Structure 1
Amino acid sequence: MPRRHITGFSNPTVKFVRSLREKKHRKREGKFLAEGLRLLTDARECGRLPKMLLMAEGRDPHPLLDALEQAVEGAGGEVIELPGEILAKVTGKDNPQAVAGVFAEFDTRLDRIDRSAAPIWLVAHALRDPGNLGTMLRTGDAVGAGGLILIDDCADPFSVEAVRASMGAVFTQGIAQARWDEFLPWLRGGEGQLVAASLRDAQPYRGAPYAAPCFVMVGNESRGLPEEYEMACDLRVTMPMRGRADSLNAAVAGAVLAYEVLATLENRG
């Protein structure tokens, strides 16, 4: 397919791509937007290619961009050039990176998760901040987790903000979405230890008996986890708070706990 050039803000393709910044349009189209050469290169290396590649005119040449363009064209995708100011409108970012891509959303059904594929999984309940969601994906990538399971009503993992915050981990991590009454029976249908930070009958997070596959669960940013969810956990742990704050940011708490689980499992050999 030949490269296409767009010059006007009113072009239907520009309007379509801009619409993907809204959840209702992403769900209707089954597509999402990602930006930046590094992020799109991570996607390519994970076997994920955009259906549509948008490149700013006058961009600096780069071999990774050449490789990305060739891969998209080879897979039958569309390559579009457009002025930088239009790309800024598309991404909603004042200083847009030179490239963006439109990807098909992934299958996020819980039954696609292979719990034996990794020793650690992250679980988030009612996480509302897309930045926190993206950070948890990035943490999962860092600790070698299998992915992130989103419970009940969470932020959209395919929003521009979440994808951006993930720094490419949206492509390296498995993502599943489920209700609690679906997740818990699924978890109990096989091996898996459910762990959460809590003050209810909790033990110190250091030295706790973590076991693989370990599912590390964090709650809503302001309300935490419902008592019912905490009491369903196999292990509840507490992290010391030495200052005036009484809690950690949800994504930070998940990262601290995930690294402690990783260290315990690795030391166990």
Structure 2
Amino acid sequence: MKEITSIQNSYIKNLLKLQEKARERRKQSLFIIEGKREISLAIAAKYQFDSILFYPDLITENEILHLFNENINRIEISKEVYQKLAYRDSTEGIIAVAKAKDFSLKNIQFKNANPLILVAESIEKPGNMGAILRTADAANVDAVFIADAKSDLYNSNIIRSSVGCVFTNQIAVGTSEEVITFLKEKNIHIFAATLQNSNEYHKENYTNSAAIVVGTEATGLSDIWRENATQNINIPMQGKIDSMNVSVAAAIVVFEAKRQRDFKI
């Protein structure tokens, strides 16, 4: 087992690059996970791991072995190194270096004959993307598609704000054109959340194969989604403003779809 005590160590410097730069994560096909819960969810999702770093004052090597087998590459780190790497304070002294998965549409497999999919187009804020992934997990949707992604899903902010749901959902990333082509080839109805030419969301039937599409609060969905939707939908607003947080909007429509499916309207 290795031990690293200096933040000037070349391996530690490389991990900091992985944390900070999406380009490095893509180049090396590696990313950082902090915390027992998030790491446990990644293990359950059959992610492969390059190494595990741990600060022994917060977690023991035996605890590491309860999560992983004895062949995992373990590195003991000093308090200084841990504090440099840790993105937040409460990560239990453990940091994992994991191997990225391929989020291609071709890898998507549906167990449900009438899948329910949540599509998010061009979401910029990691916090919103994380909240959307939490919603998708809570509703147990069949897949989450990220169209025209603005941020890397292995961004530490997204992993943190999703509380590890980046690992619990079946995810694919592609352009809007690619996602629309996939949905149409699979005969999946597209319900685009937009104000233009739309019906109230609760008046639609989501019991067949359905993709619920949400966009950014600032600009909404792009024309390609509005033009290719089976039906545009809106959430009636009763206050002074005409929009709400994208993750909240996604949750409202997704759970209406789940309600309908439970009652088979």
Query: TM-score if structure 2 supplies the norm length?
Result: 0.91
Give me the whole-angstrom Cα distance separating, in 1, the residues matched to 2:36 and 2:107. Answer: 29
| Counterpart residue identity of residue 119, structure 1 | P
Give me the whole-angstrom Cα distance separating, in 1, the residues matched to 2:87 and 2:111. Answer: 39
Is 1:103 aligned to 2:101, yes or no? no
Deviation at 1:119, TM superposition (A): 2.6
Say if 1:232 and 1:49 are closer, same or farther in 2 by CA, change over 3 A. same
What SS does the aligned partner of 2:49 have?
coil
Give me the whole-angstrom Cα distance separating, in 1, the residues matched to 2:73 and 2:65. Answer: 14
Give me the whole-angstrom Cα distance separating, in 2, the residues matched to 1:265 and 1:106. Answer: 31
Is 1:112 aligned to 2:107, yes or no? yes
| Counterpart residue identity of residue 34, structure 1 | I
Give me the whole-angstrom Cα distance separating, in 2, the residues matched to 1:90 and 1:159. Answer: 14
Deviation at 1:200, TM superposition (A): 2.1
Aligned to 1:183: 179
State the number of aligned residues.
263
Q: Where does structure 1 differ by over 6 angstroms across 4 or more consecutive aligned residues?
A: none
Q: Indicate if the aligned counterparts of 2:214 and 2:250 stay in contact, CA closer than 8 A.
A: yes
Deviation at 1:90, TM superposition (A): 1.5
Aligned to 1:163: 159
Could you tell me the percent identity over the aligned residues? 26
| Counterpart residue identity of residue 218, structure 2 | S
| Counterpart residue identity of residue 182, structure 1 | E
Give me the whole-angstrom Cα distance separating, in 2, the residues matched to 1:217 and 1:137. Answer: 13
Q: Indicate if the aligned counterparts of 1:37 and 1:64 stay in contact, CA closer than 8 A.
A: no
CA RMSD, 1 decimal: 2.0
Q: Indicate if the aligned counterparts of 1:88 and 1:95 stay in contact, CA closer than 8 A.
A: no
Deviation at 1:64, TM superposition (A): 5.9
Give me the whole-angstrom Cα distance separating, in 2, the residues matched to 1:91 and 1:168. Answer: 16
| Counterpart residue identity of residue 48, structure 1 | Y
Say if 1:177 and 1:103 are closer, same or farther in 2 by CA, change over 3 A. same
After TM superposition, list the pairs within 5 Å mapping 1:6-45 onto structure 2.
Answer: 6-21=4-19, 22-45=21-44
- Structure 1 gap segments, 5+ residues each: none
Aligned to 1:125: 121
- Structure 2 gap segments, 5+ residues each: none
Post-superposition Cα deviations, 1:174-203, rounded to whole Å, max 9, x if no partner, equal 221111222222211122111122222222
Say if 1:255 and 1:62 are closer, same or farther in 2 by CA, change over 3 A. farther
Say if 1:261 and 1:157 are closer, same or farther in 2 by CA, change over 3 A. same
Post-superposition Cα deviations, 1:45-74, rounded to whole Å, max 9, x if no partner, equal 232242211111201459864411x33x34
Deviation at 1:267, TM superposition (A): 0.9
Aligned to 1:52: 51
Q: Indicate if the aligned counterparts of 2:217 and 2:244 stay in contact, CA closer than 8 A.
A: no
